[in-house]
Amino acid sequence: MQALAKVLVVDDDAVVGRSFDRVLTDKGYDVSTAMNGQEALNKFAGGHHDVVFTDIKMPGMNGIEVAQRIKQSSPRTPVVVVTGYGTPTAEAEAAAIGVSEFLHKPLLPETIEEIMDRLMRKPEVEEKEAEAATAAEEKTASRGLGRTLKNIGLFFAAPFIGLAYFIAFPFIGLGMLLWHGVTALRHRSATK
């Protein structure tokens, strides 16, 4: 059976790595772990990973720096920060980098599964939205082209339409004058 996705978990606590491994492997994901930032970057560079979960506080390189380097090398890869020491400043830094989620420990297995499901659906949703936007742009462009052609046609037809009115106006006027005259004659003959 082929894995649904390849996941990299970066945490200096081996228990956290094993927890992610147990939860996600049971759901069909291929999980690899790293104990520090440098090991994570080496593993990430050595193979394709669909999602990265990283802790913030680790010896050496912190999780924000790991996330930043991963996003620089692979901007479309979702990175999730999981920490027991979350601060508004760290959350703002993570958001500025383009981190997909910022979660606080401890995590329930259901939460991990939910996050993975959402991250795996996100590219499909983005692709469908992009297709819909492209279709709407094409429809708008073709509608705009149709309007442009109609306006050009009216621009060239306007003098001929005006000429037709100019030629027809005397005949319409004479016809109306004749109709009023005949009506008046009938009215006069009927009153005699």
Cα–Cα–Cα angle for 83, 88, 89, nearest 5°? 95
pLDDT at 168 (0 to 100): 74
pLDDT at 128 (0 to 100): 55
pLDDT at 125 (0 to 100): 46
Strand partners for 32 = 8
CA distances from 129 to 100, 107, 115 (A): 18, 31, 20
Sequential DSSP letters for 29-97: -EEEEESSHHHHHHHHHHS--SEEEE-S--SSS-HHHHHHHHHHH-TTS-EEEEESS--HHHHHHHHHH
pLDDT at 163 (0 to 100): 76
Token readout for 124 is 């499909």
Q: Which domains does the chain have, with CATH numbers?
A: 6-107 (3.40.50.2300)
Per DSSP, the three-state class of 107 is coil
The answer to whether 38 and 63 are in contact (CB under 8 A) is no
Q: What pLDDT digit, counting tens, does each position of 142-165 carry?
A: 677 777 778 787 778 778 777 777
Give the residues of the chain that fall short of pLDDT 50.
1, 125
pTM of the entire predicted model: 0.62
Q: What pLDDT digit, counting tens, does each position of 107-116 carry?
A: 888 988 898 8
